[in-house]
Amino acid sequence: MKVYFVGAGPGAPDLITLRGARLLGDVRMVLYAGSLVPTEMLRHCRHDAEMIDTAQLDLEQQQACYERAQAQDIDVVRLHSGDPAIYGATAEQMRRLDALGIAYEVVPGVSSFTAAASAVTAELTKPEVSQTVILTRVSGRASAVPELESIARLAAHQATMCIFLSGPHLKKIVADLRLHYPDSTPVTLVYRATWPDQRVYQGTLATVLEETRRGAWNLTTMMLVGAALDKGAQVESSLYSKDFTHLFRVVKKNKDKPEPAEISATVHEVRS
């Protein structure tokens, strides 16, 4: 018997991994976070699977489900929105599984921050603009953020920031970001990325509060901030430059014969 923590992705049922979908089709018990995982995702499940929405359950009740599956010796999928490693509250479940002697495995998923970037076809990292992506949130009722990681402190880096669970705190977040980022910094809000009712706002730190209706972005919203979101940023990576060589590509002077001396011994960042 095993528990599989599976990333469901941001919402669209075809954004789960092949491995995740296969496991959903195999197991006889599925626990899923009903507030963030759409029911259409459950179409990947076998018809006789027991499907349990964890939105109504506390940790002890979820543990009771795992114990029941253990007694029946059946595998379980615990479906988490996006990727289970990010704000998934998986660690406390794993501690309990350890105590019960139940094995588990994690199957990654498409996180909502990349889904939000895809909604506006943004590249979050641009040479000389920002090469760093900060995934963060503000303190909520359930989880406190360490002071060293406050938005005001992180903003000092002026990196690309992806702010989870941010909607209800928009005013304070914008004020803290403006301590360091210029007012012209692009801001994107994506509500329910990849769901049929996805909504997108694109503006700047100076305009976002005026141009968005209060409360309209409270739930399931990803906030992206940073100069890299500016489509006008013109600096290009050398990676695909015709003069740039790396281990997997050599410049051919003679079209039939690559010159070995041109093969750089250094492996630079290589994208597939």
Ligand X SMILES: C[S@@+](CC[C@H](N)C(=O)[O-])C[C@H]1O[C@@H](n2cnc3c(N)ncnc32)[C@H](O)[C@@H]1O
Q: Which residues bind ligand X (CB under 6 A)?
A: 10-11, 36, 80-83, 86-88, 111-112, 115-116, 164-165, 190, 192-195, 220-222
Location of structure tokens 């430059």: 241
Task: Dig out the tokens for 240 from the structure.
Answer: 């695909």
Q: Which is nearer to ligand X, 173 or 193 (CB)?
A: 193
Distance in angstroms (rounded) separating the CA atoms of residues 251 and 269 = 17
How many helices (H) and strands (E) are present in the chain, helices listed first? 7, 10
Question: Minimum distance between the CB of residue 85 and ligand X, rounded to whole angstroms?
Answer: 7
Q: Which is nearer to ligand X, 113 or 181 (CB)?
A: 113
Q: Which is nearer to ligand X, 1 or 134 (CB)?
A: 134
Task: Dig out the tokens for 111 from the structure.
Answer: 């996180």
Question: Minimum distance between the CB of residue 54 and ligand X, rounded to whole angstroms?
Answer: 12
Distance in angstroms (rounded) separating the CA atoms of residues 267 and 114 = 26
Q: Which is nearer to ligand X, 82 or 226 (CB)?
A: 82
Q: Which is nearer to ligand X, 185 or 194 (CB)?
A: 194
Give the SS3 label for residue 146: coil
Question: Minimum distance between the CB of residue 124 and ligand X, rounded to whole angstroms?
Answer: 14
Task: Count other C-beta atoms under 10 Å from residue 255's C-beta.
Answer: 6
Distance in angstroms (rounded) separating the CA atoms of residues 235 and 127 = 6
In Å, how far are 7, 39, 108, 263 from 116, measured between CA atoms? 16, 21, 17, 38
Question: Minimum distance between the CB of residue 51 and ligand X, rounded to whole angstroms?
Answer: 20
Q: Which is nearer to ligand X, 104 or 195 (CB)?
A: 195
Query: Residue type at 103?
Result: A
Give the SS3 label for residue 130: strand
Question: Minimum distance between the CB of residue 3 and ligand X, rounded to whole angstroms?
Answer: 17
Q: Which is nearer to ligand X, 129 or 162 (CB)?
A: 162
Question: Minimum distance between the CB of residue 160 and ligand X, rounded to whole angstroms?
Answer: 16
Query: What is the maximum alpha-carbon separation in the chain?
Result: 69
36: nearest Cα among 178, 187, 155, 195: 195
Question: Minimum distance between the CB of residue 88 and ligand X, rounded to whole angstroms?
Answer: 5
Phi-psi region of 48 (alpha: psi -120 to 50; beta: other; left: phi over 0): alpha
CB-nearest residue to ligand X = 82
